[in-house]
Structure 1
Amino acid sequence: MRKTIILECVETGERLYLTSKNVRNHPDRLELKKYSPKLKRRAVFKETK
Protein backbone atom coordinates (compact mmCIF):
# COMPACT_ATOMS: atom_id res chain seq x y z
CA MET A 1 0.00 0.00 0.00
CA ARG A 2 1.42 3.38 -1.00
CA LYS A 3 1.04 6.41 1.25
CA THR A 4 1.39 10.08 0.30
CA ILE A 5 3.96 11.90 2.46
CA ILE A 6 5.18 15.51 2.82
CA LEU A 7 8.89 16.32 2.88
CA GLU A 8 10.09 19.12 5.17
CA CYS A 9 13.49 20.85 5.03
CA VAL A 10 15.60 20.23 8.14
CA GLU A 11 17.32 23.64 8.01
CA THR A 12 14.50 26.03 7.02
CA GLY A 13 11.38 24.07 8.01
CA GLU A 14 9.65 24.69 4.66
CA ARG A 15 7.37 21.95 3.33
CA LEU A 16 7.77 21.82 -0.43
CA TYR A 17 7.62 18.31 -1.80
CA LEU A 18 4.94 15.64 -1.96
CA THR A 19 5.87 12.06 -2.73
CA SER A 20 4.64 8.56 -2.02
CA LYS A 21 6.24 5.51 -0.49
CA ASN A 22 5.42 1.88 0.11
CA VAL A 23 4.84 1.61 3.86
CA ARG A 24 5.25 -2.16 3.90
CA ASN A 25 8.78 -2.03 2.41
CA HIS A 26 9.97 1.18 4.16
CA PRO A 27 8.34 1.59 7.59
CA ASP A 28 10.95 4.10 8.83
CA ARG A 29 10.99 7.80 7.95
CA LEU A 30 12.20 8.82 4.52
CA GLU A 31 15.14 11.24 4.14
CA LEU A 32 16.10 12.72 0.75
CA LYS A 33 18.32 15.49 -0.58
CA LYS A 34 16.21 17.94 -2.58
CA TYR A 35 16.60 21.51 -3.85
CA SER A 36 15.64 24.30 -1.44
CA PRO A 37 14.82 27.67 -3.09
CA LYS A 38 15.42 29.60 0.15
CA LEU A 39 18.93 28.20 0.54
CA LYS A 40 19.55 28.07 -3.22
CA ARG A 41 21.19 24.65 -2.87
CA ARG A 42 20.38 21.03 -2.11
CA ALA A 43 19.41 20.26 1.48
CA VAL A 44 18.15 17.30 3.50
CA PHE A 45 14.37 16.87 3.55
CA LYS A 46 12.72 14.51 6.06
CA GLU A 47 9.29 12.94 6.06
CA THR A 48 6.67 14.58 8.30
CA LYS A 49 3.48 13.06 9.67
Structure 2
Amino acid sequence: MRVKVALECTECHHRNYNTTKNKKNDPDRIELKKYCRFCRHHTVHKETK
Protein backbone atom coordinates (compact mmCIF):
# COMPACT_ATOMS: atom_id res chain seq x y z
CA MET A 1 0.00 0.00 0.00
CA ARG A 2 1.55 3.29 -1.16
CA VAL A 3 0.80 6.43 0.84
CA LYS A 4 1.29 10.09 -0.12
CA VAL A 5 3.62 12.01 2.19
CA ALA A 6 4.99 15.56 2.24
CA LEU A 7 8.62 16.40 3.00
CA GLU A 8 9.25 19.41 5.23
CA CYS A 9 12.52 21.35 5.59
CA THR A 10 13.93 21.11 9.11
CA GLU A 11 15.43 24.63 8.86
CA CYS A 12 12.55 26.82 7.62
CA HIS A 13 9.63 24.34 8.00
CA HIS A 14 8.33 24.79 4.44
CA ARG A 15 6.75 21.73 2.82
CA ASN A 16 8.74 21.57 -0.42
CA TYR A 17 8.25 18.06 -1.78
CA ASN A 18 5.46 15.51 -2.15
CA THR A 19 6.26 11.84 -2.61
CA THR A 20 4.87 8.37 -1.98
CA LYS A 21 6.20 5.56 0.14
CA ASN A 22 5.40 1.92 0.72
CA LYS A 23 4.18 1.56 4.32
CA LYS A 24 4.94 -2.17 4.34
CA ASN A 25 8.63 -1.74 3.42
CA ASP A 26 9.23 1.63 5.15
CA PRO A 27 7.17 1.90 8.35
CA ASP A 28 9.52 4.59 9.75
CA ARG A 29 9.50 8.25 8.77
CA ILE A 30 11.55 9.24 5.74
CA GLU A 31 14.51 11.61 6.20
CA LEU A 32 16.30 12.85 3.07
CA LYS A 33 18.82 15.56 2.24
CA LYS A 34 17.26 17.71 -0.50
CA TYR A 35 17.50 21.26 -1.86
CA CYS A 36 15.27 23.87 -0.22
CA ARG A 37 14.48 26.81 -2.50
CA PHE A 38 13.57 29.01 0.47
CA CYS A 39 16.83 28.41 2.40
CA ARG A 40 18.82 28.09 -0.85
CA HIS A 41 20.80 25.21 0.66
CA HIS A 42 20.67 21.45 0.78
CA THR A 43 18.99 20.62 4.09
CA VAL A 44 17.44 17.59 5.75
CA HIS A 45 13.77 17.11 4.89
CA LYS A 46 11.56 14.99 7.15
CA GLU A 47 8.28 13.29 6.40
CA THR A 48 5.02 14.94 7.47
CA LYS A 49 1.45 13.82 6.94
TM-score range, shorter chain: over 0.9
Question: Unaligned regions of 5+ residues in structure 2, if any?
Answer: none
Separation in 2 of the partners of 1:39 and 1:16? 11
**Which 4+ stretches in 1 moved above 4 angstroms?**
none
State TM-score, norm by structure 1.
0.93
Q: Would you say how many aligned residue pairs link Structure 1 and Structure 2? A: 49
Q: Over aligned residue pairs, what C-alpha RMSD do you find?
A: 0.7
Separation in 2 of the partners of 1:20 and 1:3? 5
Question: Unaligned regions of 5+ residues in structure 1, if any?
Answer: none
State TM-score, norm by structure 2.
0.93
* Letter of the 1:45 counterpart: H
